[in-house]
Structure 1
Amino acid sequence: MEIDIGIPENDRKAIAAGLSRVLADSYTLYLKTHNFHWNVKGPMFNSLHTMFETQYVELAAAVDEIAERIRALGEKAPGTYGAFAKLTQIEEEEGDPPAEEMIRQLVRGHETVARTARSVFPLAEAGQDEPTADLLTQRLQVHEKTAWMLRSLLAE
């Protein structure tokens, strides 16, 4: 059945493609945060272990919301590691970085998701897609605040 929600097909496809990049960045950041939650060590262990858990739980809910918006636009949401690897701008961490490096990487990750989300705004505006613009605004608020809080742990 054709989709007739007031957004032209070309705009829907472009918006969904942008949201797919947001989804890939968000899922990759989720995985990295969960990895760091499991493997953090040192004097900040307890506080970082708890903080990282709060962050990955929030990201898990976010990826579902982003994927559902892609589906509402009539497109298939990417859902494999391979698809995410092609779309994400966030680098995987395969080593065992110290806690402060974990924090730095997560700051960069949240800033990356914020930049990706911000880059989709013109597409949402062009298609008069208010629900996507609202979703992007919510995601920006979370990622910018989380990056600030993580950066604050590194301040001297």
Structure 2
Amino acid sequence: MKIVTGLIEINRQGVVRVLAKNLADETVLYIKTKKAHWHVEGADFYDKHKFFELQFKQLDEIMDSVAERIRSIGHYAPATLKSYLNLTHLTESESEKNDSQGFIKELLADHERIIMDLRGHIKSFTDDFHDAGSSDFITSLMITHEKMAWFLRSHLTK
């Protein structure tokens, strides 16, 4: 069925290319946060176990919203681990220690990477792709990641 929303196909494709990479980043960050939830050890185990659970639940909602945005503009979202690993800007973690400070620093760096990537696309979504809706959408995602990063940062010792 033809999509009539005021966006031409070439612009939808441009937006989807960015959103697909974001979905890959969100998925990798979700997995890394899940790992932190499962593997964290130390005197602060229970507190950080619960904290990481809150964060991965937020990321699950984000992943769903990104995939639904892709679908709402007429494309299919990538949905395989192989595609996510090919698209992501993030790297998998291989830390030797399972301490909360290490997990938090790594997760914080990933949130900041996503924030910078999203910020870099806000203007182009409006100016280049003429898609103010997707621009607003990624602005909202960026704000969510800024808050999640703040929460992570607040757990770091100086």
TM-score w.r.t. length of structure 2: 0.92
Secondary structure of the residue aligned to 1:7 is: coil
Question: 1-side partners of 2:95 and 2:157: how far apart?
Answer: 24
1:87-98 matched pairs, under 5 angstroms:
87-97=87-97, 98=99
- Structure 1 window deviating more from structure 2 (47-56 vs 144-153): it is 144-153
How many pairs were matched up?
Answer: 156
Q: Does structure 1 retain, via aligned residues, the 8 Å contact 2:123–2:135?
A: no
1:139 maps to a residue whose letter is: L
1:136 maps to a residue whose letter is: I
2:136 maps to a residue whose letter is: D
Identity percentage of aligned residues: 35
Indicate the RMSD between aligned Cα atoms, in angstroms.
1.4
Tell me what 1:99 maps to: 100
Question: 1-side partners of 2:85 and 2:131: how far apart?
Answer: 27
Tell me what 1:154 maps to: 156
Q: Does structure 2 retain, via aligned residues, the 8 Å contact 1:21–1:116?
A: no
1:74 maps to a residue whose letter is: G
Question: 1-side partners of 2:59 and 2:139: how far apart?
Answer: 15
- Structure 1 window deviating more from structure 2 (102-111 vs 129-138): it is 129-138
Secondary structure of the residue aligned to 1:154 is: coil
* Structure 2: 5+ residue stretches without partners: none
Cα displacement (A) at 1:154: 1.5
TM-score w.r.t. length of structure 1: 0.93
